[in-house]
Chain A
Amino acid sequence: MVDSNSVINLQRVCRSYQVGKIKQQVLGPVTLQVQPGESLAIVGPSGSGKSTLLSIIGCLEHPSAGLYYLNGVDATALEEHQRARVRRDYIGFVFQRFHLIAELTVAKNVALPLAYQRRAHKETTACVTEVLERVGLSGKEKMLPSQLSGGEQQRVAVARAIVSQPKVILADEPTGNLDSKTGIEVMRLLLEIHQQDQRRVLIVVTHNMDVACMLDNIVTLRDGQLISKAPGQKGELIP
């Protein structure tokens, strides 16, 4: 059952929540494999389970049933502290609402995943400077998130997601809070980062089919069920 080549391997994964006395299944069973270097869009209507699936892939939630192998390791068997380490070292997150810490400067937000690794302060600063340069935010290290535009805040979130060189980047509606032009810029940035590492996986949850089409494959969810997986068009968006 375990496909040793897959970075992500979900086997009949389900997720349900207890709402009062009723157990409500919001996802699954879903079976999905993502190969190294693959970029994948997850699309579907609201409430179809896209974000829940992304949370399970990102080890942010435990599946209620099924198996999930991340890089060949059974992620369902991991303790919370082990899953935290997986998130910190192997996964980068980008969210629709950016989820930056308002009290911290841009540089400190980006440095957060490195703060608890055994790294020298100088090394961390160098990493942060390099990654901020890469996302086009040089010179804004000392600014607070509230002093930046939406697009810039999302770039900070992207910088934070890639600063620890993760194998998997998960983006939940990364363009949802941005105007179309800025959204395209952010998507281009994500694709560029993805392409820089041949084995890195990029998974994007989106409503926007134009965004989805930029990726290698598109999976469609409806009512918690995976109804199709089709190749994307790898189309270039026109700003």
Chain B
Amino acid sequence: MIYMIMREIFSGFGASFRRNPLAVSLLWLGLSASTVGVIAGFAAASFSLQSLRYLLPGNLENLLYIDIGIVEEDPLIPTTPLHEISIADLQTIINNGLAEGFFMEITGRSVMTSSGEAFATQVMYSGKTALQGGLISVGLQNALIARGVAVNASFSQKYHVHIGDTILLNPWTSLVVAAIVGPQPLLDRQPTIYIPAEIIPNATIDASVGFYLPHAAGSTADVSLKLAATIQQLYKGVLVQAMPGLDVHRFSLRELRTVTAFSIFGALIIALVGFINAGSLISYWVLRRLPGLVIRRTIGIPSIFLWLSLVADNLAIGISATVTGAVMALLLASIIAPQIPVHFLSVLGGICLMLVGTITVSVLLARTAFRLEPGIALRRSV
């Protein structure tokens, strides 16, 4: 029986194509083009989201920024000059279990590479810290193991720096590039050098230090107090100011959410246009098939088989058209915007969305063939 049903579906589809190749081709092309649009929309949304994620540090909920300054108002309290506070000393905080890692970011530093002077953001990190959404932690760990630095792809491409090259941070510190981290330059932030704090223990603090707190560290306020107390025990007379990562990056987060919402909205608009396009073509296709469905109902073929036949028929067109659309989207992306990665999930999401839409539209339209009694439907179909 299944053999007969399948045979009928495919022979029906084949015969329809032979009889009306233009209608079937239009439907097929329309679905393919819509799939390209939907995948492009999803890829754009995914790209925007990823780009913004790379601009932010790791888990913001567990991030606490600490600013250390000198209390100058009371000359009687002995103070530790800032240039004596080395970043490696902050390891004490990690050893005390108050933080899991830290990083310090200094922008616009000049370094020397084999091809000349380069300007880059320098990020000093504790070595086990996952920066930028945790996406580049492996490269950073490798840099620490090799006792070198990591540079991002943006730096590597802009200044023609490769693994094994030497970077002169200052006249007395030269380090080997041990890893290139992060995604391709378009997604990446500005040229950046990641320096494990452990290999330059004498570097001093001259910016806010971001600490990643343990997940079970308690409230940010409590941890801030403990951190401040620990730092003040290490360095007499310093002023410690703490600010949660969520507050520091509030603007960026809002921007992230807004851009993501707009991108997804854009993708859904494209999907909607795709569905309207596909829907009109499918409605034409289903309307062409209605007389056949009504005749089948009249001679007593169970409705469930007719539904299955219609859905399977549209699914056959839908699958082939959406898969072709996906291939076209990938090809077009590689030609028009090779720097924008089309994620696998965008492709899969686009195909699934178009298929579900195709089936839904088919089923909704086919209801007209099943809503009426067969006798009335037969009279109306002629």
Q: Which of A's residues lie within 8 Å of B, judged by CB?
A: 51-52, 55-56, 58, 60-62, 80-81, 84-89, 91, 93, 95, 97, 99-105, 108, 111-113, 115-118, 121, 124, 144, 160
Nearest first, the 7 closest Cβ-Cβ pairs linking A and B are A88-B300, A60-B375, A87-B300, A55-B375, A103-B15, A61-B375, A115-B4
Please judge, given known A-B contacts A99-B378, A101-B292, A104-B11, whether A80 and B300 are in contact too, CB under 8 Å: no
Residues in B whose Cβ lies below 8 Å from that of A88: 299-301
CB distance from B205 to the nearest CB of A (A): 79
**Chain B binding surface, main DSSP class:** helix
Residues in A whose Cβ lies below 8 Å from that of B374: 60-61, 87
How far, in whole Å, are A213 and B17 apart by their CA atoms in the complex? 45
16 additional A-B pairs beyond A60-B298, A103-B11, beta carbons within 8 Å, are A60-B373, A60-B378, A61-B373, A61-B374, A81-B302, A85-B300, A87-B298, A87-B300, A88-B301, A99-B298, A104-B15, A108-B11, A111-B4, A117-B1, A121-B4, A144-B15
How many pairs, one residue from A and one from B, have CB atoms within 8 Å of each other in the complex? 90
How many of chain B's residues have a CB under 8 angstroms from any CB in A? 29
How far, in whole Å, are A41 and B148 apart by their CA atoms in the complex? 100
How far, in whole Å, are A88 and B291 apart by their CA atoms in the complex? 18
A-B contact pairs, 23 of them (CB 8 A): A52-B375, A61-B373, A61-B374, A84-B297, A84-B301, A87-B298, A87-B374, A97-B382, A102-B292, A103-B11, A103-B12, A104-B11, A104-B12, A105-B11, A108-B8, A108-B11, A112-B301, A116-B301, A118-B1, A121-B3, A124-B4, A144-B15, A160-B299
Instruction: Let me know if A116 and B1 touch, CB within 8 A.
Output: yes
- Restricting to B264-316, which residues have a CB under 8 Å from any CB of A? 291-292, 295-303, 305
B380 within 8 A of A: no
B19 within 8 A of A: yes
Output the nearest chain A residue to B8 by Cβ-Cβ distance: A115
- Restricting to B223-271, which residues have a CB under 8 Å from any CB of A? none
- Restricting to B292-348, which residues have a CB under 8 Å from any CB of A? 292, 295-303, 305
Residues in A whose Cβ lies below 8 Å from that of B298: 60, 87, 93, 99
